[in-house]
Structure 1
Amino acid sequence: MDSRLRGNDDDGWLRVIDLWRSWSWRAKAWAGAALLLFGAFTALWFVTLPPPLPGYAQTKAGWAPSEAWLYDRNGRLIDSARVNFSVRRLAWTPLESVTPVLPQTIIASEDRRFASHDGVDWWAMAGSLRDRLEGKRARGASTLSMQVAAFLAPQLAAPGSRGWRDKARQMRAAMDLEDDWSKDQILEAYLNLAGYRGEAQGIGASALSLFGKAPDALTKTDALLMAALLPNPRAGPQELGRRACLLASQNRTGQGCLPYMAAALDMLGPARRLALDPGLAPHLANRLLKTPGMKITTTLDMDIQRMAVTALSRQLQGLGSDRARDGAVLVVDNATGDVLAYVGGVGGSSTASAVDGANSYRQAGSTLKPFLYAQAIEKGYLTPASILDDSPVQLDTASGLYVPQNYDHDFKGPVSARTALAGSLNVPAVRTLVLAGVDSFRDRLWDTGYRGLTEDGQYYGFSLALGSAEVTLMEQAAAYRTLAKGGRWSPLRLRADDKKEVPRAIFSSQSAWIVSDMMSDADARAQSFGLDSALRLSFWSAVKTGTSKAMRDNWCIGFSDRYTVAVWVGNLEGDSMRAVSGTAGAAPVWRDLMLALHQGHPGRQPAQPSGIETRQVRFADGIEPPRREYFLAGTGQSVIGVAPRQSRRPRITSPVGGSVYALDPDIPIQRQRMAIQVAGAVEGFRLILDKKDLGPADARPQVLAGPGAHRLQLVDPAGKVVDSLLFTVR
C-alpha cells in the first residue's frame, strides 16, 4: 500500500482516539449505551426476520385441488375423482362465491379489528399481556393476517414454535403481508387455507363435507358452527354447540342453544359426498383423471349417460345378485365415433364395483362371428344363401380333438349361412373358419381393433370362431361400428380433444352391408331366438348376442344407422351366471336404449352399395323357404341345393371320437343304449364294435357298450376300414 495512504488512515484513527479521550465519562456512557442498543436492535431484527411470503397471485396459482373433474360434451359436470390423497380440497373459492355471513361471523369471532389493524392487533396483544400478568387465561391475539402468514410459511407455526421469537416473526410476516395484499385477498386466502375439520381444507371442501352445501348456500347457523370449529377443529358436538351458542349471543342472534346443539350433531355425522356432481361416470373418471385440478371435457352426453345407467341398473335389479351382479354399457355415435355413454358398472350388489367393466378383457363368445362371415363373403367362399352343415364335427388340433357344440346342444342339419349367423349356430361357424383360415381371421380381427389377440391364429385354434379370445366392450363397440360404417374402422373418441383419425377400410363395403343385413333378419334368427325376442325392434337394426364358456359373460351388441350400443352383463369376479340366456341378460338393456335413442327418429337401413346383386332364391328339398337374397356381383344363384348324399365322405358322426360316456346306475341298463349315426352313402357298409359286427351301417343300430375303452369302425363292402374312432364308457 502507498505510504501516503497508510499515513492518512493512521491520522484518522488518532483523531478518533483523541476525540474519545476528550469526552466526559457521562458522554462515554451514553455513547456505549446507544451502541449496545443499536447492536441489540440489529440482532433482534435479524433474529426475528420472517421468511419471504408468496404474493396473492402466486398463492392462488399454486393452489392445487385434490380433485379432478369430468364434464360432458355440453360442459355439464358428470363426475369427479380424488387424485391427491395427502389432502382433501376443491378448487380455490373466490370471496364473492362465499355467503357474506360466513366471513362476517369469522371476523367477529377471530379478529374484530381486522379492517383497521396493520397485521397485528396491538390492543389485543396488550389485553393478552395484561391477562397473563393478572394470572388470568390469556385471550388469543393472533389476527387473520398472522394466521394466513403461518399458512403460507408453515415454519412460523411448526409444533413447538410458541416462543417470543416465533411470535415476533409471525407478527412481522403479517405486517409484510398487509403491505402487499389487500384485506379482501387476505380474507379470501384465510377461507381457502384454513382447515375446519378432518382432512378437508378450505371453505369449498369443508362446506361440502360438513353440510353438503356449496359455500354460497351456507346459512347463519352454518357460519356460526364453522366459526366455532376454528379454535378446536376436533371439538365434539357438545363443545361445538356451546361455542356456537356463545358466538350467537355475542352477535345478538335471538335463539337458544338447543338448535346449535342439534345442528352440531348433524354436522359431525357421516361425511357427505365431497363433490357437486351426480356421480354418473366413476369408472371413466378414474380412467381419465390423473392430475389434481384436471378438468376434462368428454364426448359423453349427460342425458344419454343417465339413460344408460338407469337401463343397466334396472336390468341387474331384475336379474338379482344370485344370477348376475355386474354390467357395462357403451353408446357410440356412428358418424363421429364419439362415445355418448360410458358405464363401467353401477355398483348395487357388485362385489368388484371398482373394476371398469367397459375396459376389462372378457371372453367374446359368439360376438366375433359377424366378422368371420364378412371375411368369408368378401373372399367369395360363401354367400348368405350358401348351405352349411350343422351336424357333429371333430377337428384334429395340436391339443387333441376339437368338438364344437351348439348352445342348445342340438343340430339343425343343412342351414344357410344367413340362418347360421342370425341363429348363432356354432358348428357352421367353425366350418366357415376352416374355409377362411384361423391365421387370416385372427389378423382381420386385429385390424378391426381387437388388440387383446396378441398370439397367432394357431394359439386360439378353431375355437376362435366361437369367441375364445378375450376382448373389451370398447373394442366390441368400435368393431361393430365398423360394420355400420361400411367396413371402415377408426378409434372411438372419449375426450372432446381426441384426434379424429381418417377411417381405414377393413372389410369391403359390400360384405359389411350384407352381413349387417343378415344380422338384422328377425325371421332368420327366429329358429334360435323366437319371433318376438328382445332383439326385434320396430325399426331397422343389426344385432348379435354372445355368451362365453361356462356362462361367465353375456353380450349384446348392435347398431342402427345412427348409433352403436354395446352391453355386457356378467360377474366381474369371473364366476358363472345362473339362468341367464343369450337374450335374458344384456339384450333387454340394448333394447331399452335403442328404443329410447330412436324415439321419434326410427333407424333406417343403410343404402345398398354398388357391387351387390339381388336374386329371388329357392332352396332344393325345402331346406328353407324361398326368399330374396343378396350376393356380391357375379356370384348370384337362383336355386340353392345341398350336395347329394353320395358326394359326402362316408364317416361316423356319432359317437364322437374321444368322448367319454357314463352309465347311470339309476336308469335301467337296457335304456342306456347308444345310437350310432353315419353320414354319406353307406349302402353295403358295416359297423364293427370291438371286432364284433353290428350289421349294416345304414340301419343305424343301437348298442349297449359296457365300461371301458371301445373302438368303432366303419367298413366298406370290400372290407376296408374307412373311418375309425375310440370312445370310453364309465
Structure 2
Amino acid sequence: MRLAGTGRGLALLAALIIAPAVQAMPDFQQVKAGWRSSDVALMDRNGQPLQRMRVDARVRRLDWVTLTDISPAMRQALVMSEDRRFYQHSGVDWSAVAAASWGYLWNQRTRGASTLTMQLVGLLDDDLRRGAQRRSLVQKVGQGVSSQWLERRWSKAQILEAYLNLVSFRGEIVGLDALAASMFDKSPSGLNAHESAIAVALIRAPNASPDRVAQRACGILRDMGRVGTKAQDCARIDAETRFALARHGNDYLRGEQLAPHFARKLLARSPQAAGSTVRTTLDGDLQRFATRVLRRQLADLRQRNVEDGALLVLDNASGDILAWVGSSGDLSRAGAVDGVTALRQAGSTLKPFLYQIALEGRWLTAASLLNDSPLDLRTSSGLYAPQNYEKDFKGPVSVRTALASSLNTPAVRTIEMVTPNRLRQRLYDLGLSSLSESGDYYGYSLALGSADVRLLELVNAYRTLATGGLGSPLRWQVRDPRPAPARQLDARSSFIISDILSDRTARARTFGLESALATRFWSAVKTGTSKDMRDNWAVGYSRRYTVGVWVGNASGAPMWDVSGMHGAAPVWLALMNRLHDGVPSRPPAPPAGVERRQVRFERNVEVAHREYFLPGTARDMIYAADDDRRSRTRGIGNPVDGAIYALDPDIPPQNQRVVFRASGIARPQWWLDGRLLGSGATLAWFPMPGRHVLQLRDRQQVIEQVRFEVRGAFLKAGTVRKGT
C-alpha cells in the first residue's frame, strides 16, 4: 500500500500549510444558523405561516431540512452513488484514493476518491471549492485534512444533513428542499427511489441532458437493487426524468400561499432581506375564509361572464389590514392582477361623501326633498341625462331615501349645489389619489362614480366614516407604530351619513327590506355598479370593522346582468357575519350637537319619522317637494330645446331610446320632422342620427316645438345594461 502511505505523507506536509484554514472551519450549528432561504416568510398576526415571497434571484433556496425529514430512499441513493464507504472511513477513503491513483497512472477511468465529507468541505470553504479547473495538489491535500478534522467534530448524520442542504443540483437550485419542491412538487420526506435517483444523478452533472441524467439515475437504481439489468427496465425512469427536468425553473413556494398580492405590495413598500421573517397584521384564518367565500361567489357567477374579484378587511380603530384577497386565483385569466390596488370605476360608492358635503354646507338636511325625476343638464359635450338602475323614477324623495336607495338623479341635483370640484377635493383629501384631475374634468357624472378608484383607498375612506371622521394610515406589520388618528371629516355629518347607510327602511325603495345588505347587527353599507356593469362594489362597516368587495373582470369586459347587490354584496355579508360571530356591533351614539326632530312630508310622499339634524338646521315642519319646473308646465318635458344625444356603441340598439314626455295635455300627439309619430304622455323613440324637429300637438294645435340632435351612427350588438 505504497500509494496510501504516500498520500498520508502528503497530508502531513499539507497540514502544516493549511492548519490556519482548518482551524477556521465552522461547526455544524454555525452552518445551520447561517443558512438563508431565498424567500421572505410572512406570518399572520398570530405568528402562523401566511405567505412566502422570493427576493433573492441569484439562487433558489427553501428551508433547511433535517436528516429525519429526508426520505430513506434519498439517503440510500446518495451514499450508494457518491460514497459507498461513507460510514466506514474517517473523511478520506484511502482505498478509493489508491484506486484513483492507480487508474490515473494507467490512464483508466475510475470512480474517483472524493468522499461526501470532502465534497462538503468544498462547499464550506471557497478556497477548497472545485472550479472550472481541477483542484491543485495543495487543494486536494487540504481538502483531505479538513475532511478528517470535520469527521472528528461532526457526526455522520450532521455531515449528510449539511451536504444535502448545501449542494447545488441544477441551475440555480441549492438544497434538497428547493429541488424536491420545484421538480417533484414534494417535500424531501416524500421522495421515492426513482425521484431520489434522479436528484442524486444531478449532483455530478447538474446541467446534463435528460438522456444522460436518466442513464445515470438508472445506474443508481441498479446499484440500489431497484431495477433489473435489461434495457427496458429503464424506460420508466427515462420518462420520469424528462418530466422532472421540464418542471425545472418553477418558482415553487412550499405550503399554503394565502396572500400573494398583499405580500408583493408589502415588500415593495418595505423591502426585506432574504431569509427574514415578517409578522403582518393579516389574520390567517380570516384570510383563508375570505378567499373561500370570494371564490365560491365567483364560481356561482361564471355563467354571467364574471371571473374576478377582490376584497379588503380593515380594523377601524388601528387601521390594521386583516384580510387582503387580490384575485380569484386560478378562476381568473389574470390572477396576477391585484384587484385591491387596480383602478376601477367607482359607481355609486362615492355618493355618501357627496351628500356629506351637502349636509356640512347646510344646503341640505337628511329630510330635504329632492326630485327623482328626469333631469337634463347641458354640458360642454352635450346633454347629460342620468337614469336610475331600474330605469324608473320615484318622484319626491328625502335625502335619506335618495342615498340609502342609491337614486341617481337626486345625486346629480346635489352635485349641482356642491360642485364637482368640491367633491373631487374631498375624495382626494381622503386618500383617493387616482382623482388627480380637477372636478371639471369629471363633471356632474362624478356624483355617479364615473372616476376610477382603488379598493384599498376607497375602503380606508369608508373607515374614516366608521370612526366618526378620524382617519389614519393603514398598518401592514404588527411592529409598525399605531399613528395617532387625525380629524378628516366632520363627526356630526359622519354620524348622519352612517345612520342613513344603516337604515334598512330607507334602503327598501330600491333593495327591499331583506337583502344581502341586511345584517343582524348594526352596520352601514353602500353598493355600486359602474357603466355597462363592468364593476360592482359593496363597501360598508360596523363599529369595529370596514369591509370592501369588488367583483368584475380584470379585462374590463362587462358582466351580464350582475349588480352590486348580486355580485359583491353576498361576499360582504358573509364576511361581516364571520367577523361578528359573537362580537356585538351596536349603533353609535349621536355626537354632541346633533338634534333629532319629528318630520312630516307633504302629500305623505314619505312616512313621518324622527330625523337627525346638524346644529341650526332642525325644523319641526312639513317638508314639501320642490318639483321640477317642467313637470308643472304645459308642454314638452323631454327633450329640451337644443339637446344633443350621443348613441353608445356598447349598448344594444334595442336598449337605446329617447323618451318624449308631455305634461298638461289631455290628448298629446307627437310629430317628428313633420310626420305623426304617435300619441300619449310618454313615447319611447328609437334615436336616429341627425338633427330633428319635435312638435307636441293637441289635436291640430302646436303646443310646443323643440329642436335636438342625435349623434353617432354605428351601433353594435351586445347584452349589457347600465347600472349604478
Scaled to the shorter chain, the TM-score interval is: 0.7 to 0.9
Counterpart in the other structure of 1:143: 115
User: In the aligned structure 1, how far is the partner of 2:358 from the partner of 2:19?
Assistant: 80
Matches of 2:76 and 2:690 in 1, distance apart?
Answer: 93
How far residue 114 of structure 1 moved from its aligned partner, in angstroms, is: 5.2
| Residue type at the aligned position of 1:658 | A
| Cα distance in structure 1, aligned partners of 2:481 and 2:463 | 18
Q: Is the 8 A contact 1:49 1:169 kept in 2?
A: no
Match of 2:449 in 1: 467
Q: Which of the numbers 652, 658, 662 marks the counterpart of 2:643? A: 658
1:332 aligned partner: 314
Does the CA-based 8 Å contact 2:295-2:331 persist in structure 1? no
Aligned to 1:369: 351
Tell me the equivalent position of 1:347: 329
**Equivalenced residues, count:** 658
What letter matches 1:78 in structure 2?
L
* Alignment partner of 1:285 out of 260, 263, 267: 263
Q: Normalised by the size of structure 1, how large is the TM-score? A: 0.78
The CA deviation string for residues 601-647 of structure 1, in whole angstroms up to 9 with x for no partner, is 34321222221111221111111111221111332233211237889
User: Deviation digits for residues 141-187 of structure 1, max 9, x if unmatched?
Assistant: 1123432344356786667524xx63552442453465589435755
The equivalent residue for 1:307 is 289
> Partner residue of 2:94?
122
Q: Deviations over 1:488-546 (max 9, x none)?
A: 11122222223322111122111111111111111112121122221122222111001
**1:618 and 1:421 mapped to 2: Cα distance?**
19
Query: CA 1:538–1:266 in 2, change beyond 3 Å: closer, same or farther?
Result: farther
> Hey, what's the Cα distance between the residues in 2 that align with 1:329 and 1:322?
20
Matches within 5 A, 1:496-575: 496-575=478-557
Q: Residues 550 and 155 of structure 1: is their aligned pair in 2 closer, same or farther, counting only changes over 3 Å?
A: farther
> How far, CA to CA, are the matches of 1:127 and 1:117 in structure 2?
15
Cα pair 2:167 2:175 within 8 Å, conserved: yes
DSSP-derived class of the 1:358 partner = coil
Q: Secondary structure at the match of 1:573?
A: coil
Deviation of the 1:126 alpha carbon: 0.5
Match of 2:419 among 437, 443, 450: 437
1: distance between equivalents of 2:709 and 2:529? 29
Residues 406-429 of structure 1, C-alpha deviation per residue, up to 9 Å, x if partnerless?
A: 222222221110110011111111
- 1:190 alignment counterpart: 163
1:493 matched residue in structure 2 = 475
What residue is the counterpart of 2:221 in the other structure? 244
Among 175, 178, 181, which residue is 2:145 paired with?
175
Does 2:311 align with 1:316?
no
Per-residue CA deviation, residues 26-51 of structure 1 (Å, 9 max, x unaligned), is: xxxxxxxxxxxxxxx9xx99xx9999
Residues 728, 687 of structure 1: CA spacing in aligned structure 2 closer, same or farther, 3 A cutoff?
A: farther
Distance 1:77 1:288 in 2: 16
Structure 1 residues 435 and 349, CA gap change in structure 2 (3 angstroms): same
Give the letter for the 2:643 counterpart: G
Q: Contact (CA 8 Å) 2:370, 2:397: kept in 1 or not? A: yes
Deviation at 1:130, TM superposition (A): 2.6
SS at match of 1:125: helix
For 2:89 and 2:468, the matched residues in 1 are separated by: 75
Q: Using the alignment, how far apart are the partners of 2:370 and 2:382 within structure 1?
A: 24
Separation (CA, whole Å) in 1 of partners of 2:527 and 2:473: 22
- Deviation per CA, 1:637-678, whole angstroms, max 9, x where unpaired? 33211237889996953114424499xxxxxxxxx9974436
Question: What secondary structure sits across from 2:330 in the alignment?
Answer: coil
Q: Is the 8 A contact 2:278 2:477 kept in 1?
A: yes
Which residue is equivalent to 1:641? 624
Q: Distance in 1 between matches of 2:346 and 2:599?
A: 33
Shift of 1:349: 3.1
Q: Deviations 1:310-340 (Å, cap 9, x if unpaired)?
A: 1100000000165211000111111211111
Question: What is residue 717 of structure 2 aligned with on the other side?
Answer: none
Q: Residue 80 of structure 2 contacts residue 220 of structure 2 at CA under 8 Å; is this kept in 1?
A: no
Cα distance in 2 for residues equivalent to 1:50 and 1:167: 16
Distance 1:202 1:311 in 2: 37
1:426 and 2:396 equivalent? no
Which letter does structure 1 place at the counterpart of 2:625? Answer: V
Measured in 2, the distance between the counterparts of 1:488 and 1:592 equals 27
Q: Corresponding residue for 1:629?
A: 611
Q: Go from structure 1 to structure 2 and tell me whether the alpha carbon gap of 1:513 and 1:259 turns closer, same or farther (over 3 Å shift).
A: farther
Structure 2 gaps, min length 5: 1-9, 648-656, 698-702, 714-724
Match of 1:415, SS state, is strand
Tell me, in whole angstroms, the C-alpha distance in 1 between the residues paired with 2:423 and 2:627: 30
Q: Which amino acid aligns with 1:625?
A: V
| CA distance in 1 between partners of 2:325 and 2:223 (Å) | 50
1:616 partner amino acid: Q
- Change beyond 3 A, Cα 1:702–1:226: closer
Distance apart, 1:232 and its partner CA: 4.8
1-side partners of 2:705 and 2:589: how far apart?
50
Of 285, 294, 298 in structure 1, the residue corresponding to residue 276 of structure 2 is 294
Going from structure 1 to structure 2, the CA distance change for 1:612 and 1:264 (only over 3 Å counts) comes to farther
Change (3 A) 1:706 1:300: closer
Q: Does the Cα contact within 8 Å between 1:448 and 1:479 map onto a contact in 2?
A: yes
The code of the aligned residue for 1:347 comes to G
Aligned twin of 1:75: 47
Partners of 2:371 and 2:410 within 8 A in 1: yes
Structure 1, unpaired ranges of 5+: 1-40, 663-671, 716-720
Aligned-partner Cα distance in 2 for 1:259–1:68: 43
Match of 1:37 in 2: none
Normalised by the length of structure 2, the TM-score is 0.79
Q: Which amino acid aligns with 1:56?
A: P
d(CA) in 2 for partners of 1:266 and 1:273?
A: 20
**Which letter maps to 1:283?**
H
Whole-Å Cα distance in 2 between the matches of residues 159 and 448 of structure 1?
59
Deviation per CA, 1:166-220, whole angstroms, max 9, x where unpaired? Answer: 3552442453465589435755542222124564311222243455554567688
Q: Is the 2:595–2:615 contact (alpha carbons within 8 Å) kept by the matching residues of 1? A: yes
What's 2:460 paired with? Answer: 478
| Cα distance in structure 1, aligned partners of 2:242 and 2:577 | 46
Specify the code of the residue in structure 1 equivalent to 2:110: A
The CA deviation string for residues 403-452 of structure 1, in whole angstroms up to 9 with x for no partner, is: 22222222222111011001111111111112122222211111211111
Distance (whole Å) between structure 2 residues aligned to residue 171 and residue 286 of structure 1: 48
Paired residue for 2:175, among 199, 202, 206? 202
